[in-house]
Structure 1
């Protein structure tokens, strides 16, 4: 069993290493090195949202019905790696947009496939998935952080080398996936329909007003997440002229990685906060944390305001986990019977699909609005985003009418 856990740990590590090598730093590379506009960078990041609308269910159906899941995972990573190798040589916006859209179409499904393969392999060996998978999955976050550190310490945050590193890891994982235990298609044809995987079966939840409100806010907060992924490092790079020797400018990816480290720690606090305050208050805390995330960026700098930058990184863990993880538990509680899986699919559709697309697109417009002669007014940019999150926090308690139930605590 230990050998099997090690093999799945390697798979999870590489899965998110591939993403971490460019997700946070690519925005800075495109703005500073390629001189793309904010809206162009935002639209390229929004391709992940576009791809998440339809490709994960399509690949899921292929893995469920026609081809071993580990092979689908491997093929997706190999194709994605080839596309990243091409992207590393691209200098113009239209071509970069197309290549990154195609890459997103093959990478985004692998997140779900990675979980599916892990579950199937553990289950086939009669290993307790609930007990052992979290300890395996946490190495995915470690891989993401490790990739950020490699790119930073290699001084590649403003270089296409980050795409080569990601592509190399993708090729390794692509071929490695073919060595994993077989995860054959299910023989049950009626399960996992296309509509269920898209989350369409769960749209019945919109008939309940509190769930409709919840999913709408899930979309808005999904947009907030995309903002920091897109422009966090670009913001730090713009201090190069005023703080050239600062840690934040020399090692932006390492500083940004504190956000992911914080995320892993805040996950551990969710059971306490849910039982003590309830889902409504926890989700409200997440929105207030987003206000602080953006507000601290607005007034922070690599000099005397460095502590504000660090605080912003730390608060990110609460902003992300207290809605995404707690929200998933809430959906699990509210959806019953045959729509449990499709309800989770709908939650992901609203956050990683529509929310990511909206966040990437609108944040690009905001950055362009506050850009004059190539100089970006980051304070007003971040204050605009903080104002956006503040509006959500002020409106949410009044429109989300929900009384806590004991059942939520029992799901933790």
Structure 2
């Protein structure tokens, strides 16, 4: 791969995840403080990610794979997204905002697959080259969080009260506009399927891989993947509002510790996976979810807030050791014919169905433990996902039988 192309792909990935991290992390805080949204309404807003994940395969399977270059669709989606982001910046009530965020996530979620397609199309050996490009996405997310907390100070108490947190949407609109224009300069990635090729709804939704459920271990893993997304939804939806309510300074910037740990544990994963095997790796991830939420339940922001920072830092283990290991496991079980459809099925089940359920439950529980003064009983709220993750841990430990997985770095 030429250096010019590598730079283009790295910048594309940086902007792609800068855009997501620039508004999604602080969404709950913005909605509660700026639009006076209820916990149930906040859950509805976050669940748009799941609806986007459910609809995304149709966008990729019907349009990108058959009719237009991936980089052009990427550009159009981000240009449209920039417009919606600007209107979200101007929003003053939740009802109008919800329509906008739903439309935006339907546009944005397909771009996650499109940036991968553009990248893979330029690589001779994706297994070795992709990680060095993808890491710039994590750096983009980190840069967005640090900018909000340490450059613009939008998540400081007084600035939140003044409504400055809405500027995250304006910043995202500008970044989305830049990526939209830049996408048309990316290397060409033509459609993979012929226009005349028969439309296959089963392949688009990953239903071709349903035969994998004949394997008892895969069925248990699949169910566990859906269930573990319920406590994951609690983190995405509640972490930033929780830290703000606890009085932590620069919460958005400090949450980037989680993305920093992602990079570290991504590097450690191949060793851990080959040394201890798939089952133990997954169990460590599930245990980390339990520990994280216990730390949140009983920690405080006084002094350095070490317990809360440790909970944030566990994100790398929670995410990498479960989801990346799960992708490797799914790839090994699917075989050559069903690799793509199996990965699509897992994505649809986790980011789609699993997190949709999780956001709904998180909203219900947060509402149940909301006090009259607008504060939450966070100790009790965090014990719910901790307990749920513990149940999934026990069930997986009992019913999933140890097996050797072929891992190739």
Task: Quote the residue 1:152 is aligned against.
Answer: 149
Aligned 8 A contact 1:274 1:409 in 2 = no
Deviation of residue 191 (structure 1)? 8.5
TM-score computed with the length of structure 2 as normaliser: 0.93
Deviation of residue 214 (structure 1)? 1.1
Taking a change above 3 Å as real, the CA distance of residues 192 and 275 of structure 1, as seen in their structure-2 partners, is: farther
Matched, 1:137 2:134: yes
Matched, 1:195 2:202: yes
Deviation of residue 192 (structure 1)? 8.5
List alignment gaps of at least 5 residues for structure 1.
Answer: 241-247
Relative to structure 2, which stretch is displaced further, 258-267 or 29-38? 29-38
Task: Quote the residue 1:234 is aligned against.
Answer: 241
Aligned 8 A contact 1:151 1:253 in 2 = yes
Matched, 1:177 2:183: yes
Aligned 8 A contact 1:117 1:183 in 2 = yes
Q: Which of the residues 162, 181, 186 maps onto 2:168?
A: 162
Matched, 1:97 2:104: no
Task: Quote the residue 2:403 is aligned against.
Answer: 404
Task: Quote the residue 2:115 is aligned against.
Answer: 114
Task: Quote the residue 1:385 is aligned against.
Answer: 385
- SS class of match (2:37): coil
Matched, 1:61 2:68: no
- SS class of match (1:46): helix
Aligned 1:31-110 pairs, distance under 5 A: 31-110=32-111
Aligned equivalents of 1:83, 1:181: Cα separation in 2: 27
Aligned 8 A contact 2:254 2:309 in 1 = yes
Q: Which of the residues 224, 228, 239 maps onto 2:231?
A: 224
Task: Quote the residue 2:257 is aligned against.
Answer: 258
Give CA-to-partner distance per residue, 1:232-277, whole Å, 9 cap, x none. Answer: 110011123xxxxxxx32x111111101110111111112222222
Aligned 8 A contact 1:51 1:108 in 2 = yes
Aligned 8 A contact 2:370 2:376 in 1 = yes
Relative to structure 2, which stretch is displaced further, 382-391 or 66-75? 382-391
Aligned equivalents of 1:54, 1:212: Cα separation in 2: 24
Aligned 1:331-350 pairs, distance under 5 A: 331-350=330-349
Relative to structure 2, which stretch is displaced further, 166-175 or 335-344? 335-344
Deviation of residue 316 (structure 1)? 1.5
Give CA-to-partner distance per residue, 1:89-116, whole Å, 9 cap, x none. Answer: 2222222221111100000000000000
Deviation of residue 343 (structure 1)? 0.3
Aligned equivalents of 2:135, 2:176: Cα separation in 1: 19
Aligned equivalents of 1:184, 1:36: Cα separation in 2: 43
Aligned 1:198-213 pairs, distance under 5 A: 198-213=205-220
Aligned equivalents of 1:135, 1:215: Cα separation in 2: 29
CA RMSD of aligned residues (A): 1.6
Task: Quote the residue 1:291 is aligned against.
Answer: 290
Deviation of residue 224 (structure 1)? 2.2
Relative to structure 2, which stretch is displaced further, 49-58 or 316-325? 49-58
Aligned 8 A contact 2:29 2:241 in 1 = yes
Aligned equivalents of 1:52, 1:9: Cα separation in 2: 24
List alignment gaps of at least 5 residues for structure 2.
Answer: none
Aligned 1:349-360 pairs, distance under 5 A: 349-360=348-359
Aligned equivalents of 2:395, 2:207: Cα separation in 1: 27
Aligned equivalents of 1:409, 1:338: Cα separation in 2: 17
Deviation of residue 132 (structure 1)? 1.9
Aligned length: 397
Give CA-to-partner distance per residue, 1:168-199, whole Å, 9 cap, x none. Answer: 10010001101112212235454984421311
Give CA-to-partner distance per residue, 1:320-352, whole Å, 9 cap, x none. Answer: 111100011110111123111100111111111
Deviation of residue 356 (structure 1)? 1.7
Deviation of residue 391 (structure 1)? 1.3
